Amino acid sequence: MDSPTVRRSDAREALTSALKVRLQSEPLDRVTVTGLVQDCGLTRQAFYYHFRDVQELAVWMFENEVAEAVRVSARQDAWADGLVRLLKYLRGNQSSTAAVLDGLGRAGLERFLFWQMRPVTEAVVREVGGGGPASPDDRAMVVDFYTSAVLAAVLRWVSDGMVADPYRLVGDVELMLHGAVQESVARLDARARTPQGRV
């Protein structure tokens, strides 16, 4: 007999698949629990065991799939791949992305993507910034600053319809980040070495 964990995982996957199909032809606010459970052969009780409503299912689906799409290894050359995976996921799942924008709101989406993208930016700082500034506070500031910059480019790409080539966008971001991160690290470390903390 399957464990509850396996059954829970299977039910969530079935509901996610059913929701994706529905979102291709109808907006999130028209998707019903009844329709979803009929599509995947579950009961309403099973749905409500896992999710409060369809909107919560949409957000859960997006958060889990985006987290998987941007999960990167510790290799120094993997950060760009993680960002490309994120962009390709968003473009390949435009209906889901639009549904989650409705569910999370733009501010919620920005917060979520910021924390998903932050490990990617940390990898950039490690790679091109020689590990980043010596000070942990300065290192966190650099990572947060460039995460916000990359996020702004991603959100602009989303609002423009996700038509630009993800590889081109990531290449442009990579070009801009390399020199800028190095310069930021050098300036912050120089400031930390001066008696008055000035460069």
Name every residue whose Cβ is closer than 8 Å to that of residue 136 and which is 6 or more positions away in sequence: none
Q: Which of 159, 94, 91, 85 is nearest to 120 (CA)?
A: 85
Task: Enumerate the H helices of 41-77 as residue ranges.
Answer: 44-50, 54-70
**CATH class assigned to 55-193:** mainly alpha
Q: How far apart are CA 109 and CA 145, in angstroms?
A: 18
Kindly report whether the global pTM for this prediction surpasses the value 0.85: no
Phi/psi at 116 (5° precision): -75, -35
Q: What is the pLDDT of residue 11?
A: 92
DSSP at 27: -
The tokens describing 192, both together, are 């930390």
Stretch(es) of the chain classified as CATH 1.10.10.60: 1-51
Q: Between 3.40.50.300, 1.10.10.60, 3.30.830.10, 1.10.3470.10, what CATH number should domain 1-51 receive? A: 1.10.10.60
pLDDT number for residue 8: 65
pLDDT the model gives residue 169: 95
pLDDT by residue, tens only, the chain of 199 residues: 443 433 667 899 999 999 989 988 888 888 999 999 999 999 999 999 999 999 889 888 888 887 776 664 434 456 778 788 888 888 988 877 877 777 777 788 888 888 888 887 887 788 777 777 888 899 899 999 999 998 999 989 988 989 999 999 999 988 888 788 888 988 998 888 886 655 5
Place of tokens 């907006």: 27
Q: Which of 51, 49, 75, 46 is nearest to 61 (CA)?
A: 51
Q: In which residue ranges of the chain is CATH 1.10.357.10 found?
A: 55-193
Type of residue at 42: L
